[in-house]
Every structure is written in structure tokens, then in C-alpha cells.
Amino acid sequence: MYIRDVDSQNEAPITDRKRALLDSTVRVIARKGVRGLRVEEVAKDAGVSVALIYHYFGDRSTLLLSALLHIGQRAHDYTRPNVDGDARTALLATVLGEIQDDEEIRENSAAWGELRDAAIFDESLRPTLEAQTREWVDDLAGIVRRGQAEGSLAAALDAAAIGQRLSALVEGMSSRWLAGLVSTAEAHALLAGAVERELPER
């Protein structure tokens, strides 16, 4: 679930201060949901004034969209190190990287789910959510295509469909994992089985 994190107004790399404010926003969304998000809560979590948040983001809607982009970048940062090696190993590591016993990853996953669900009723979130999801699917599909080009994966595999299925499976598994319905080890075993079925031995 990722896309390059940028300042939405001028496409410049995000500043450390703005990143810290977005980290706080993600934390509040993860704990209280989108409906429970108050700019005052974000300011309190970040230890700054409400005025500073409005200075950087202008309004609550822009803050939400910026948080969605930030979630994508954070996910990119903790899954990207897993793309080395052969395609099968890289795909498995990338998928498993989405579910780890790490507080930031749990917050990220929870906030992604909250924003995705909010998009059911808030159409303004949909274009950004769609772009994020497309990047995620394309990244997974790209790993499969790399394996096909290298000859380690069958040419007949539908890389785009595999990306769609695995990203959807990770989203569903993540929800169960966050709710404590499956452990990290159980989630990893189930996802590993899914990757094995998607990429049968040649």
C-alpha cells in the first residue's frame, strides 16, 4: 500500500516537521478512527498548536488525504527492503512485511483500514485510495513480472491478477490480525500458503 510521500502543494519532499505531524495523525486515526479524528487531538499527540497543523495542511480534509499518502510511504519504507533476491522470495517477503509485530506497522495497518472504510461514504478519499491501491498492486505484479523475465516464474501467470488477489488477501488478513483473531505467526503461515499457490513450481 504505497506511493511516494510528497508535499501536496509543491511536490517537494516532505519536511521532518510535517512528517512528525502526519505520524501523529496516523496514530490518532488508528486509535480513534476517521470520525474520531479531531485536529485538536492531533495537535495534542504531536505537542504542537492547532494553528501549526492548519498552517501545514489548511483543513481537515487535506490532513486526511496527506495522512493516506503518508501511510503509503511508511508501508513502502518497511516493505521495500524485502524486494531483493529471486522473485518468489521477494514476493513472499513483501507480503509478509505488511504484518509484523511492530507498533508503527500496526498503526499503519489500522489507519489504512479506517481510511479505506471511510471512503465508502467519503468520495473525496477515493481517488487517493485508488492511486495507493494501484501502486501496491503494481508493485506486487512487478515482482512477478521480474520473475517471468528472469525465467524463474511461468510466463502464463497473470501478474496483475496475482497483485490484486494478494493485496486484497493481505488487507483482509490484516484486519483479523489487528483484531487478535489470528496471530502474526498464523497470518504469516496463511499468506505464505497463498503465495505458494499463486506461484506454483515450474
Structurally, the chain folds into a number of domains equal to 1
Report the CATH number at residue 66.
1.10.357.10
CB 114 within 8 A of CB 29: yes
pLDDT value, residue 29: 96
Structural domain harbouring 91:
16-198
Q: Is residue 5 part of a domain?
A: no
**Does 11 fall in a domain?**
no
191 located within any domain? yes
The rounded average pLDDT for each run of 10 residues, N- to C-terminus, in the chain (202 residues) is: 42 75 95 91 93 93 93 88 81 95 95 95 94 94 95 95 97 97 98 95 71
Residue 110's identity, in one-letter code, is: A
Give the separation between CA 4 and CA 14, rounded to whole angstroms: 10
* Coil, strand or helix at 64: helix
The reply to whether 98 falls in a domain is yes
**Residue-level pLDDT at 77:** 87
The dihedrals phi and psi of 90, each to the nearest 5 degrees, come to -65, -40
- The amino acid occupying position 75 is A
Map grid coordinates 504531536 to a residue.
46
- Taking the chain, what is the end-to-end CA distance rounded to the nearest angstrom? 29
Residue 78 has a pLDDT of 86
Question: Please, which residues bridge with residue 6 across strands?
Answer: 13
Rounded distance, CA 42 to CA 36, Å?
A: 11
pLDDT of residue 7: 44
In 3D space, the residue among 97, 44, 37, 90 whose CA is nearest the CA of residue 64 turns out to be 37
Residue-level pLDDT at 51: 95
Amino acid identity, position 143: I
If phi over 0 gives left and psi between -120 and 50 gives alpha, with beta otherwise, what is residue 11? left
- Please check whether residue 1 lies inside any domain of the structure: no
Angstrom distance (rounded) from CA 194 to CA 129? 24
Query: Is residue 33 left, alpha or beta, with left meaning phi > 0 and alpha meaning psi from -120 to 50?
Result: left
- H runs (alpha helix) in 47-125: 50-57, 60-79, 87-96, 103-118
